[in-house]
Structure 1
Amino acid sequence: MNDQPSTARTALKWGAILGLILIAITLVMYLTDQSTNPLFSGLTLGAMVAMLILAMREYRTLNGGYMSYSEGLGIGALLSAVTGLLSSAFITFYNVIIDPTIQQRAMEKAREKLEAQGNMSDESIDQAMEWSEKLQSPGFTFIAGLFGTIIMGFLLSLIIAAFIRRNKANPFE
């Protein structure tokens, strides 16, 4: 019998954990009205790196101390997809059902910021706000969040898997 662990099971487990962590970070960010605070972006990135490392190390441990580069990329990509699905669904749900005014408040802050810079005309600011409103639809927000998380996770996995991989001396074992 083959006792090789499943990359999918490991990725699903850690993707769900990371998704819940990102939901908690997002909830704190929304409840404290800190959506422009870069600290939350750093927390999100740090959590993603930590969970990718933990997932790949767990798989390597379960696999007798070995993990190929492609297995690491697979774990990272699936973990990121699960995380993106959970966190994007929560953000969309929050923005549509719980607090539909959050996007309007963000748009007002963005307008104030552009006006304070003083290097754009009123027409340019209005045009920028018009484009921003088009990109705030729930469907676009969900898709952008999902694919943004997948891309970021995959790029991080390219780096992390290179350090965590450990190939067998004989690939036919």
Structure 2
Amino acid sequence: MENTTTPVTTSAVAIRYGLLTGLVSIIFSFLQLSLIDDPETPLRWLSLVILAVGIWLAHKQFKQLNNGFMSYGQGVSLGTILATVSGVIGGVFSYIYFTFIDPTYMQRVMDLTRSRMEEKGMDDAQVDQAMAMAEKFSGPIATTIFAVLGALLIGLIISLVISAITKHARPEFE
């Protein structure tokens, strides 16, 4: 008897796991933003681990639903879509957090940044110039846009690496 199941699409798995990864990222971000005052904490890199684990689990699920096969391109596509969905969710969360939950957060970060620049011995003109530039990119909308674009770029890079490891191409003459 012939197998009549249709193979699952990369976008279906990517969207599902993108939503799950985005939810986990929101929980982590909320805890980090509300409990840790210093944005330069080493824990901020844990979000990359969350994204990488989400991509790896999505690859595993895709291969399981696709008779154990996944091409390199499918893996990259799946991971990039997943990262974009997760990034949009994270960007919306950032906008809500910085606009409604804690509107003073960005000002506290800017004050901390200013004090660190002064501690490094930068003169007032340099500090003022750097702070003026940083203020242009610190609004809630800019933060949201950078969250989405950053997730897309980082997700693509992580997907390139993980796809090289998890791919299992279907034999050509099958």
Common topology (TM > 0.5): yes
Q: CA RMSD in A?
A: 1.2
Q: Give 1:83's aligned residue.
A: 86
Measure the CA separation in 2 of the matches of 1:129 and 1:14. Answer: 38
Q: Give 2:27's aligned residue.
A: 24
Runs (5+) with no aligned partner, structure 1: none
Q: Give 1:125's aligned residue.
A: 127
Amino acid in the other structure paired with 2:135: E
Further displaced range: 122-131 or 27-36: 27-36
- 1:27-57 CA-partner distances (Å, limit 9, x unpaired): 011111242211122x111111111111011
Q: Give 1:107's aligned residue.
A: 110
Tell me the matched-pair count: 170
Measure the CA separation in 2 of the matches of 1:126 and 1:170. Answer: 61
Q: Give 1:9's aligned residue.
A: 12
Matches within 5 A, 1:32-47: 32=35, 33-41=37-45, 43-47=46-50
Q: Give 2:68's aligned residue.
A: 65
Q: Give 1:142's aligned residue.
A: 144
- 1:139-172 CA-partner distances (Å, limit 9, x unpaired): 211111100000000011001101111112225x
Q: CA deviation at 1:19?
A: 0.4
Further displaced range: 140-149 or 1-10: 1-10
Measure the CA separation in 1 of the matches of 2:50 and 2:103. Answer: 27
Measure the CA separation in 2 of the matches of 1:36 and 1:91. Answer: 17
Q: Does 1:160 align with 2:162?
A: yes
Amino acid in the other structure paired with 2:114: R
Q: TM-score, normalised by structure 2?
A: 0.94
* Preserved CA contact (<8 Å) 2:10 2:62: yes
1:93 to 80, 88, 96: 96
Among all aligned residue pairs of Structure 1 and Structure 2, give the percentage whose two residues are the same amino acid.
32
* Preserved CA contact (<8 Å) 1:23 1:87: yes
Q: TM-score, normalised by structure 1?
A: 0.94
Measure the CA separation in 2 of the matches of 1:23 and 1:169. Answer: 40
Measure the CA separation in 1 of the matches of 2:147 and 2:170. Answer: 37
Measure the CA separation in 1 of the matches of 2:91 and 2:129. Answer: 27
Measure the CA separation in 1 of the matches of 2:119 and 2:140. Answer: 29
